[in-house]
Amino acid sequence: MRLVRCDWAAFGAWIVAAALATCVPCATASAAFPDRPIRLIVSFPPGGPSDAVARVLAEGLGQKVGVPVVVENQGGAAGTIAAGMVARAAPDGYTMLVSATAVFAVVPNLRKVDFDPARDLVPIARIGESLRVLAVNPRLPVKTLPEFITYAKDNPGKLNYGSSGQGSTVHVLTEAFRHAAGINIVHIPYRGAGPSLTGLLAGDVDILMDTVVVPHIQGGRLIGLAAAGEERLPELPDLPTLAELGLSSVRTSGWTALFGPAKLPPDLVEIYTRAVEALFRDEAFLKRIVTTGSKPALLGPAAFADHVRKDYEYFGNVIRELGIKAQE
């Protein structure tokens, strides 16, 4: 199956246009915008981390722009159905997208999709980064990551790990961890983060790298081995990061972000950018983002576009090097 090859020349134009958006004076379009409710299309079904962030964002944006912002979940095809809808929507600012890493950096490296992430959508802002942690079921005789790696090497092919699906961000990141650690553990894909957590709690899988494990580590039902991010988590300050434990090659990006159709006028990009920046000065908004399992992590249009490009390249390299395939 032919894979999408993102148009990185267009992606460069993204960055230039986004940078100009912050200095282009608002034209007449912005003077009238918005005058009716805004649709915020979410790439995933209700109940997941991206949906939770989207609902906090929708409420905040509605307060800033003065009209209701209505969340509309359009799950399916690993999040690409929603992205395609917004890519084809009128660039009038009334149909926007909340999406995540997998849709822009993972899925296009695995299979053909009906839109080009680098050409058909414009980045507005990264809102949050996932608080992913490597956790194990307490039945395993390990308490630390080095102990787990040693145990896995002593029992090759006998341990397994869960993910939210074949070709999901969690799948690819855990494969990157498995490869960097030099261990042989078996992938057990589930239909989402919730079911994979249930599998870990039940002992059907041995290890899981996801956001959903954090409260269960805090509650003593799971054992945390490492924070999968650049910094230790405030919620688990004693838990070292993968980098601290010698696995700095594992890029643990996992974000939720706001996008619009590619031809969204610069003045509308500016309106959204300024509204999000204002929300990030609101302590109540930031605290609500944390409750979703994400860390507030604002990046504006130009910086975020560059970040998405780097994620696309990183995940593409991992997928090709490790021979990861999409679900048949």
Confidence of residue 328 (pLDDT cuts 50, 70, 90): low
Q: Which residue has 């679900």 as its token pair?
A: 327
Tokens matching residue 165: 């699906």
Task: List, for residues 70-113, the tens digit of each pLDDT value.
Answer: 999 998 877 889 999 999 999 999 999 999 998 999 999 998 88
pLDDT for residue 26: 40
Asked if pLDDT for residue 19 goes beyond 80, the answer is no
* Cβ(310)–Cβ(278) below 8 Å: no
Domains plus CATH for the chain? 8-130+254-322 (3.40.190.150), 133-227 (3.40.190.10)
Q: What is the mean pLDDT of residues 285-309?
A: 92
What are the start-end ranges of the H helices in the chain? 8-21, 28-32, 49-65, 80-87, 101, 117-120, 145-154, 169-181, 193-202, 214-218, 266-279, 283-291, 301-322
133 membership: H or E segment, kind and range: strand 133-136
Q: What is the mean pLDDT of residues 51-66?
A: 96
Residue 263 is predicted with a pLDDT of 94
Confidence of residue 165 (pLDDT cuts 50, 70, 90): confident
The yes-or-no verdict on residue 140 having pLDDT over 80 is yes
Q: Considering only 102-106, 162-166, 172-176, 280-284, which range has the smallest mean pLDDT? A: 162-166
Average pLDDT over residues 17-32: 48
User: For tokens 């998405």, what's the residue?
Assistant: 308
Per-residue CA distances from 217 to 21, 90, 198, 226, 233 (Å): 43, 45, 14, 11, 12
**Is the per-residue pLDDT at 236 higher than 80?**
yes
CB 123 within 8 A of CB 305: yes
CA 58 to chain centre: 17
